[in-house]
Amino acid sequence: MSTAETDAELLARLTADEERLVLDRFDEDDAWRLGCLLVERARAAGLPVAVAIRRNGQRLFHAALPGSAADHDAWAQRKMNVVDRFNRSSYLVGTRWRLEGGDFDTHSRLDTATFAAHGGAFPIRVRGVGVVGAVAVSGLPQDDDHALVVEVLGEFLASAG
């Protein structure tokens, strides 16, 4: 019997992550702390990723670790554009399209040079306000990009409380 997660289970997990990872506030200092936590975790594991955080359209944090490339920056941007457009993680959006029998790149009618519904960008949601920005990691398989963001954002949230 396979222990692989079904698409329906994946969608439920992604939705639960978004419901759970809601911040009480998010300012420039918070972006710096979150970004540094992501970089520390990625650096410790030797991950060749780019990390980006923006709020209300302003880039508040960016780092490119050894082994990353300019293409990772472009992917992070495209994934954050999905968060901005749908107020959901880029992974959840892509998974939802797939579960509904479609393909985001083909059926969304959005420019694939601007939008990428692949894992790695997550909404920065503030309680009582809504989505104010996005945090993204790019450079790994989409499951791993997403998992890194969710894990570190969970730790950031726990340390803020």
For residue 1, is it within any domain? no
Cα maximum dimension of the chain: 47
- What is the number of other CB atoms lying within 10 angstroms of the CB of residue 45? 12
Q: How confident is the model at residue 161 (pLDDT cuts 50, 70, 90)?
A: low
Average the pLDDT over 98-102 and give the result. Answer: 89
Domain count, the chain: 1
Q: Is 125 helix (H, G, I), strand (E, B) or coil?
A: strand
Q: Domain with 54 in it: what CATH number?
A: 3.30.450.150
Phi then psi for 128, rounded to 5 degrees?
Answer: 80, -5
**Residue appearing with tokens 């809504």:** 130
Taking alpha carbons only, the member of 66, 23, 22, 25 closest to residue 46 is: 66
How does pLDDT run across 151-160, given as a tens digit for each residue? Answer: 999 999 999 8
Distance, first Cα to last Cα, the chain: 40
- Residues 6 or more apart in contact with residue 3 via CB below 8 angstroms: none
Reported pTM: 0.94
Residue 104 pLDDT exceeds 70: yes
How does pLDDT run across 28-75, given as a tens digit for each residue? Answer: 999 999 999 999 999 999 999 999 999 999 999 999 999 999 999 999
For residue 101, is it within any domain? yes
Residue 2 pLDDT exceeds 60: no
